[in-house]
Amino acid sequence: MSKLLIVESPAKAKTIGKYVGKDFTVVASVGHVRDLPKSNKKAIDIEGGFIPHYEISKGKEKVVAEIKRLAKSASEVLLATDPDREGEAIAWHVSEAVGVKNAKRIVFNEITKDAVLEALTKPREIDMKLKEAQEARRVLDRLVGYDLSGLIWKKVRYGLSAGRVQSPALRIIMEREREIRAFVPETFFVLSAELETKDKKTFTAICDEEPKTGISADKIAQAARAGDWSVAKVTETETKRAALPPFSTSTLQQTASTRLGFSPKRTMMTAQKLYEAGHITYMRTDSFNMSAVALAQIKDVVTKKFGADMHEGREYKTKAKNAQEAHEAVRPTNFTKELAGTTEDQKKLYELIWRRAVASQMVDALLMRTKISTSVGQENIPTFSANGSRILKEGWLVADPDAKGKETLLPKVAPADPLKLLNLETEEKQTTPPNRYSEAGLVKELEKRGIGRPSTYASIIDTIIQRGYVEKEGRTLIPTDTGDVVSSFLEENFGNYISDTFTAEMENELDEIAEGKRQYEPTLRQFYKPFLAEVKSKEKTAKLTTLGEADKDIVCPKCGAPMIIKLGRGGKFLSCNQFPDCKGMRTIDGKEIGEPEPIGTDPKSGLAVYVLDGRFGPYVQLGEKPDPSTKLGAGKNKKPRRASIPKEKDPSEVTLAEALHYLSLPRELGPHPETGEMISASIGRFGPYIVHQKDFRSLKEDDVYTITLERALEILKEPKKKRGWKKKSD
């Protein structure tokens, strides 16, 4: 009789099957086999002690039946699901669903032959503490989501939802959005001087003071042009730049976003494939630790590839607030493989992981930072300074060159050396509000505040996007009107339950269940009794349809009465306060609304063409707007094509022919002869542009609709200009 080894995925089963031999039958559960039913009445027996009632997940009946059949004829059943709480819970669910009470549990952090065979020698019982911690999280999330979502349906709008972790994430995004809305820009001036040394070398120095008015800036500029320039001081400082630790889940998602342009979801899906193929260790971890075997491999690789003097053993401490079960960092399983993976995404991510892990065990990089301070020879004139840096010794950067950054080299000068002013420019600027969160930025913030777990970051972001609470523009997360309203409602009525403190403390309590310091039922009861009372107390609040009064100068287009802000299916809108007697309605920007009427039909696609208005101004749209409650890309619910209307064009006068002309953007002009990457032309928030490999160039004189590939190549060869107003130097 053969032994039965149960894992989670078919890919994992295939890899492990090569290692364990003919004595084992390896089968996949394909993830969870049981879950709570959709109806909360059937799902959890609250009075009985928060007892969950699980059902076989839809579509898993055949999987469970096959495992049950194999288990009956097996001499031993081993559960080899992932080495975390979720994996422990899956192992328990499989054993319960199949009816095998004596199944043993084995764990390994990497899918290699040595790791799997060693794990087989150390079978153990299922860790019920880990299982209960996962179960408590699942039940808690269901109770919070079910009760809060039900209340939001009644008080805001049907179909909306809330969650224990997704709502704090949305709140964080909205807090930043409110900072941006409240931000008042301030004007300041930057003065830059192009200087020449006695050796005819040039460099640029920036005024250390940033005057607030043009008069002050002109005063400094006039004195600077009349002064005798010289070197006042040269400061050179050697600094060390230490290697970064190997990746945790969070830092992997952040770095893959900034360097590779991967979303957290894409990163985790790619990492999962690399793990299942045996190329990397388990990718859901808070830890920076690496095994002695891994450290020895890295030392050998560094010595052979870069030299023995480049190796420096290091240990890194985990900084995460609620570090999960002890795993290793995300690292390659075999450091002699610099490349691995079958797809381009896998190859890129593996190389990133390899470089980071190897570099973490190498010597510091040595940099020289230089500062040149100048004198203008005039009283009460601020100093102009230039800062530069150069790498003296690459150290770990030789293994991870993308982490170098840009060097700024300054000429060799000495104090009292004369300088010649070649040019002086004054640039007017304005302070900018804080940036909206990117996906990587939100992951970093969630980890910093102790909200969620490594395995949940990607799904948290995906959930608030799919719910229509947040839209992605490039990598930036922008809250929608619906997200604003939902978050505002929850902050006003359940602020303590979606606060950082509560969410992080709840994570600590779940950790304590896993450690055996807390019990399942008392923990949930302690939370749920006051939470349910809070929810019931809000049942008497009025339905949130009116959000406030509009500005006094905005009146009903039909009867002239004041307008009030309301919430509808598509977000906020303005309604006449005499509604329904007067059916005058307008959007926030003042246009009349209702169901938009198309201006015509595209003869090629047969889709309706609309003229609409959005966050960044008027635009034309081909096809219907997708239903925000339905996943984009599903069936007919694809995001329609849109194009901006030129600023000089009155949207009310746009014809069908003009709309189709605008919708011809973006235009693909052709591949770049050196890179092979496509060059395209389009119109964005700042006007018409061409783009090649994220190199955006504004079009000032060329027509975006007729520009040729040859002309685009000429523009791309030109030095890139800084955005902003510049005052002439004479």
Query: What is the model's pLDDT at position 593?
Result: 44
Query: What is the model's pLDDT at position 231?
Result: 96
Task: Give the span between the Cα atoms of 385 and 131, in whole angstroms.
Answer: 60
State pTM to two decimals.
Answer: 0.71
Query: What is the model's pLDDT at position 545?
Result: 54
Query: What is the model's pLDDT at position 319?
Result: 62
Query: What is the model's pLDDT at position 618?
Result: 76
Hey, which CATH number is domain 3-126, 3.20.20.70, 3.40.50.140, 3.30.1230.10, 3.40.640.10? 3.40.50.140
Q: Please provide the DSSP assignment of 273-304 as one string.
A: HHHHTTSBB-S--------HHHHHHHHHHHHH
Is 288:329 a contact under the CB 8 Å cutoff? yes
For the domain spanning 187-242+365-430, the CATH number is: 2.70.20.10
**Catalytic residue status for 469:** no
Q: Is the peptide bond before 37 cis (omega within 30 degrees of 0)?
A: no
Query: What is the model's pLDDT at position 664?
Result: 87
CATH 1.10.460.10 fits 137-182+435-540, yes or no: yes
Tell me phi and psi for residue 22, to 5 degrees: -75, -15
Tell me phi and psi for residue 644, to 5 degrees: -70, 150
Residue among 63, 123, 118 nearest 93 (CA): 63
Give pLDDT < 50 ranges for the chain: 321-325, 569-570, 579-580, 588-594, 627-636, 723-730
Task: Give the span between the Cα atoms of 349 and 272, in whole angstroms.
Answer: 11
Domain boundaries, the chain: 3-126, 137-182+435-540, 187-242+365-430, 249-359, 546-586, 600-662, 667-727
Query: What is the SS3 assignment for 658-697?
Result: HHHHHCCCCEEEEECCCCCCEEEEEEECCEEEEEECCEEE
Q: How many CA atoms lie within 13 A of 182 on its CB side?
A: 6
Reading the block at residue 268, the tokens are 């985790």
Query: What is the model's pLDDT at position 723?
Result: 46
Longest Cα–Cα distance of the chain, Å, equals 96
* Residue 220 three-state SS: helix
Place of tokens 């006007």: 687
Query: What is the model's pLDDT at position 727?
Result: 41
Query: What is the model's pLDDT at position 560?
Result: 66
Task: Give the span between the Cα atoms of 440 and 252, in whole angstroms.
Answer: 10
Is 599:654 a contact under the CB 8 Å cutoff? yes
pLDDT digits (tens, 9 = 90+) for 713-722: 999 988 876 5
Task: Give the span between the Cα atoms of 44 and 37, in whole angstroms.
Answer: 9
Q: Give me the torsion for CA of 348, 350, 354, 357, rounded to 10°.
A: 110
pLDDT digits (tens, 9 = 90+) for 527-560: 999 999 999 998 877 665 555 555 555 666 666 6
CATH 1.10.290.10 fits 249-359, yes or no: yes
Catalytic residue among 146, 275, 282, 528: 282
